[in-house]
Structure 1
């Protein structure tokens, strides 16, 4: 079953963004390099990405079978904008839906 499990925010710099969300929401972040940090609550988590080409939010949907989802996206009229790649904790790809929204599908490993 697919479920929204992550939201990635493009930010100018991770430290000010971490400070803001820690102060306002009480969230804690784990650093994954100088330009990326994320909450790791296990619920719907959020990443702060200061090294991205994205200009808007990136919803990340967790799926059971990444390759089958990629095929379904293409068959349904979506366009793959970033092929499958590994990241700490799993693999994912980015796609554009027929309305132009960019999302990601991921599988945990």
Structure 2
């Protein structure tokens, strides 16, 4: 939904667009629309956006924005991420208000997944 002054779209670099698409399709059931060989878009995942081909990635430790998914089954989602080829950067841990883990997808971009306290 387009609302003035609200976030509407997110674009991220991807070294390997095909591997990134395969990962998100497998781990989170995302669907993509390709716009040429160097750009792919996603929608209906909470925030629309896309990946563009570039030799860069976003990591929180380097000041990149950390995008955080929600999961009602944190351990199951962690297993789905690993099965799809994600690399766990921080195992499940408690934080004030819940639990979460961090992972990198095949192009190296860091994401997190959180859930309510156990």
TM-score between both structures, scaled by the size of structure 1: 0.50
Partner in structure 2 of residue 77 of structure 1: 85
Q: What's 2:55 paired with?
A: none
In 1, Cα distance between the equivalents of 2:113 and 2:83? 15
Task: Report the number of matched residues.
Answer: 58
Q: Equivalent residue of 2:63, what SS?
A: coil
Structure 2 runs not aligned, ≥5 long = 1-59
Map of 1:103 onto structure 2:
111
Whether 1:66 and 2:74 are equivalent positions in the alignment is yes
Say which structure is richer in strand: 1
Q: Give how far 1:100 is off.
A: 1.2
Segments of 4+ in structure 1 off by > 4 A? none
What's the offset of the Cα at 1:108? 1.6
Distance 1:108 1:68 in 2: 14
- RMSD over aligned CA atoms reads 1.3
Instruction: Report deviation, 1:56.
Output: 0.4
In 1, Cα distance between equivalents of 2:80 and 2:89: 15
Residue 91 of structure 1 aligns with which residue? Answer: 99
State the TM-score, normalizing by the size of structure 2.
0.46
